[in-house]
Amino acid sequence: MKTWHKVGIGLGAAALVGGIVLFSINQANKGVVTVQTAKVAKLDSLVSQVTASGEVKPTTYTNITAQGFGRITEILVKEGDHIKKGDKLLLQDNVQANADVQAQDAAINSGESSVQAADASYKAAQSDLLTQEANLEKAKLDYDRGQGLYKDGLIAKQDYDQRKTTYDAAVATVEASRARMLAQKAQLDQVRAQLNQSKAVLVHTKDVLSKTTYYSPINGIVSYLPVRMGEYVVPGIQNATGSFLMTLSDMSVVTSEVKVDETDIVNVKIGQDADVTIDAVPGKIFKGKVTEIGSQAVLRSSGLATTQTTTSNQEAKDFKVVVTLENPPENLRPGLSTTAKVKTAERKDVIGIPIQALAVRSRKDLEEAAKNSKKNGNVTLAAPPPPAAGDPKKDEVQGVFVVNGKKAIFRPVETGISGVTDIEITKGLQPGDEIVVGSYKALRTLKPEAMIKVDNSAPKKTEDSQ
């Protein structure tokens, strides 16, 4: 046999053996899933948080609106100014209001003079009445004496008639004086009422005048000032609001008002600690506490409360949560964007695993896998827990895949609180257990009792295409 024949036969035999080996390896690796694993360990601390975004809001703020018709003549503050309660803010045209006050002052002065004159006339009428009553008393005495003398025949009939006439005249004069006194008293009451009316009108005109000057009702800053000098403003009437002038905010107590998703609001409680970050103050975390939780859901798209809508709506809803900052910086402004991380729960020294390691499998698949495992003489598969009565998820079981040799065994677990990346395991795992943590694709399709290949090497970085 020639040499090249021998070489050809050798190469063919080597190729055949190589093919057989490759086929055997391929068959052996058929159905094997490459996974990443990690050891179950205890965590020193696990914190459950609810994260929500919102904006900076002061606890106390007020919107200043127009109190009367007129033109703005002077603005005494600007945005960002620190103001104190009682400081002047803005002046409005007051020529007419000031003239009304002066006219009413003059009317009051005239009314007071009229009262003095009427009072003097009334007192004069009282004095005149007293005089006429005295004259009446004298005339009555003369008349009474004349009656006795006339009966005794000591005076003539003419003298008696004269005394009677004088007495009757005195009676009439007293009645006339009394009537004049009552008239003077009525006049005095009238001018006094007119004076009181004028004083009431003066209070009104002074109030109108005072509303042309605007004062700060609180301590704080001018956080918003949209008007300009020379603009005309109008007050609110009925359901229409008046012209908006400015917003004053008391920044001594600052809050972060955030919107919490309806699925998380049940975990938020008054007094819980929160870490607040402000976009305008990067790199700093401010401590705070939850001080208010809204009881009414708000539609995420429109911002309206659900009670303001007349139709049923299944869109996402939020709840208002107010976090009061403990030491807010002085340069904060209302409306700055914030993010609050509310600590809803904390556990010390707990067993924790990465959240992505959790998997859900149907009870039917687990029962079939358990039967197949028993047929093959393998009893390593953990049996699924019995379904709870009335449990809407009784057909699904939550668990993790535990590495047992070259197989992934599904083990049901019970969970506690969840953090940002980890979740507490209260039952089903022990420290040191090796579990499957990735990849996501492998965990999604991994079956109980599946053959696995562990590859915990770092993923290769793909080079950018040139």
Phi, psi of 288 (to 5 degrees): -160, 175
Distance (Å, whole) CA 63 – CA 76: 17
Could you tell me where the DSSP H helices lie in 256-376? 363-375
The residue extents of the domains of the chain are: 31-46+350-454, 50-60+252-346, 96-210
How high is the pLDDT of residue 293?
93
**pLDDT (average), residues 168-174:** 91
Quick one: tokens of 272? Answer: 């819980």
Neighbours of 248 (CB within 10 A): 26
List, for residues 6-64, the tens digit of each pLDDT value: 556 666 666 655 555 444 444 444 568 888 999 998 998 899 999 999 999 988 889 99
CATH of domain 50-60+252-346: 2.40.30.170
Q: Is 378 exposed, middle or buried (0-12, 13-18, 19+ CB in 10 A)?
A: middle
Do the Cβ atoms of 353 and 423 come closer than 8 Å? yes
pTM for the full predicted model:
0.62
148 CB neighbour count, 10 Å cutoff: 10
Give me the mean pLDDT over the 69-74 stretch.
Answer: 92
Please compute the mean of the pLDDT values over residues 389-401 and round it to a whole number. 71
**What are the angstrom distances between the C-alpha of 450 and each of 225, 405, 408?**
69, 11, 6
Query: How confident is the model at residue 1, as a pLDDT?
Result: 53
Class of the domain covering 96-210:
mainly alpha
* Among 106, 73, 119, residue whose Cα is nearest residue 92: 73
Query: How many C-beta atoms lie closer than 10 Å to residue 4's C-beta?
Result: 8
Model pLDDT, residue 465: 43
Q: Which pLDDT does position 29 carry in this prediction?
A: 47
Task: For residues 261 and 267, give the distance between their C-alpha atoms in angstroms, rounded to a whole number.
Answer: 11
Q: State pLDDT tens for residues 311-337.
A: 566 678 899 999 999 988 877 888 899
Is 31-46+350-454 a domain of CATH 2.60.40.10? no
